[in-house]
Structure 1
Amino acid sequence: MFLSTERLVVRRFRVGDAEAFSGYRSVPEVAQWQSWEAPYSMEEAVKAVEAFAAGDPLVPGWFQYAVDRDGVLIGDIGVNLHENLMQAEIGYTFAPEYQGQGYATEAVRGLLGLLFVERKLHRVSAECDARNVSSARLLERLGFRLEGLRLSNTWFKGEWTDDQLFGLLASDWPT
């Protein structure tokens, strides 16, 4: 376990998470904003979960954290640690039945505390499709600033999309 919040545990992935992982990543409304296509097969899920379980959150690159509520995988948070070990980019995905209940806010807030307070990161950034209003609102709730809008920047799933860029500095994180 990396951290716990009032209702959640943020932990390393386990092989037993593959079914739930495949389940929520197979929902078209979830996959719409992400790099994968729905459905997300069990074979893909098993491979991904095994790779996530073997990862090291302290080395540069992406590390995927499992978000657990009462022993059930409800989502995941990815952290892309920069080579300088002082900044990172985050992304998150939650099962639809757990959206809109504050779980993503709670889990990401807890992880930001870990990154800023324990790991002493200077900056955390995120970006999202400008049409993904829920994701942008989550980032703003957590204190991220909208730092930019790149118009028609990314060729994504057959169309050009606008990217919103967000950032949060350690100096702006409540201690």
Structure 2
Amino acid sequence: MTTLSTLRLTVRPLTQEDLPALVTYRNDPEVARYQGWALPYTPAMAQGLLSDNPLGVEGWVQRAIALKNGELIGDLALNRRGPQAEFGVTLSRHAQGHGYASEAIRALIHFAFHELNLHRVHASIDPRNQAVAGLLRHVGFRHEGTHLKSYCLRGEWTDDAIYAVLQEEWRA
């Protein structure tokens, strides 16, 4: 099981002990607003995110974002498909605005390019989520395009903006 470590964070497998906090912040309407999970977010749904799979295997792998003291503040996922991957990140509301998302994303992308030797990593977001669009640009992603009304979120057809970075761009 891969654990990533930064100055302030540990990105590690989710545990049973994380589930109450995970369910709480994923049910926060502000946190869930642009996310694709169903509401209410149940403990059974959270249980489905627990995995012994190592980060980087084919398919989605979810990881906890925890402070060095062990407090769960969010989660991220990597969906590897051959030489490319998609990722997603979620932070509890109280952890937003402190640079934790940037720190966790940089650690994940560094791992994806330097340990997994991936060619490209991308994220798919609702373009109304300007905070995340700015975050992705801040960490080095570029906007590749927007698919109009291509994603159904809670019964509403929404646009889907794609942000990506290539391995050679990340190294530069």
Tell me the TM-score normalized by structure 1.
0.91
- Helix, strand or coil for the counterpart of 1:110? helix
Moved over 3 A (4+): none
1:51-130 matched pairs, under 5 angstroms: 52-69=50-67, 70-82=69-81, 84=82, 86-130=83-127
Q: Aligned to 1:150, which of 138, 147, 151? A: 147
CA displacement at 1:32 relative to structure 2: 1.6
Q: 102-111 or 149-158: which moved more?
A: 149-158
* Cα separation, 1, equivalents of 2:51 and 2:86: 20
* Counterpart residue type for residue 108 of structure 2: L
- Helix, strand or coil for the counterpart of 2:171? coil
- Helix, strand or coil for the counterpart of 1:53? coil
Flag structure 2 segments of 5+ consecutive residues without an equivalent.
Answer: none
* Cα separation, 2, equivalents of 1:146 and 1:118: 25
* Cα separation, 2, equivalents of 1:105 and 1:88: 18
2:158 corresponds in structure 1 to 161
- Helix, strand or coil for the counterpart of 2:38? coil
* Counterpart residue type for residue 80 of structure 2: L
- Helix, strand or coil for the counterpart of 1:39? coil
* Counterpart residue type for residue 140 of structure 1: R
CA displacement at 1:163 relative to structure 2: 1.1
Alignment length, in residue pairs?
Answer: 170
CA displacement at 1:59 relative to structure 2: 2.1
Is 1:15–1:53's contact at 8 Å kept on the other side of the alignment?
no
Tell me the TM-score normalized by structure 2.
0.92
Flag structure 1 segments of 5+ consecutive residues without an equivalent.
Answer: none
Considering only aligned residues, what root-mean-square deviation do their CA atoms show, in Å? Answer: 1.5
* Cα separation, 2, equivalents of 1:169 and 1:58: 17
Is 1:27–1:38's contact at 8 Å kept on the other side of the alignment?
no
| Percent identity (aligned) | 42
- Helix, strand or coil for the counterpart of 1:54? coil
* Cα separation, 1, equivalents of 2:54 and 2:106: 21
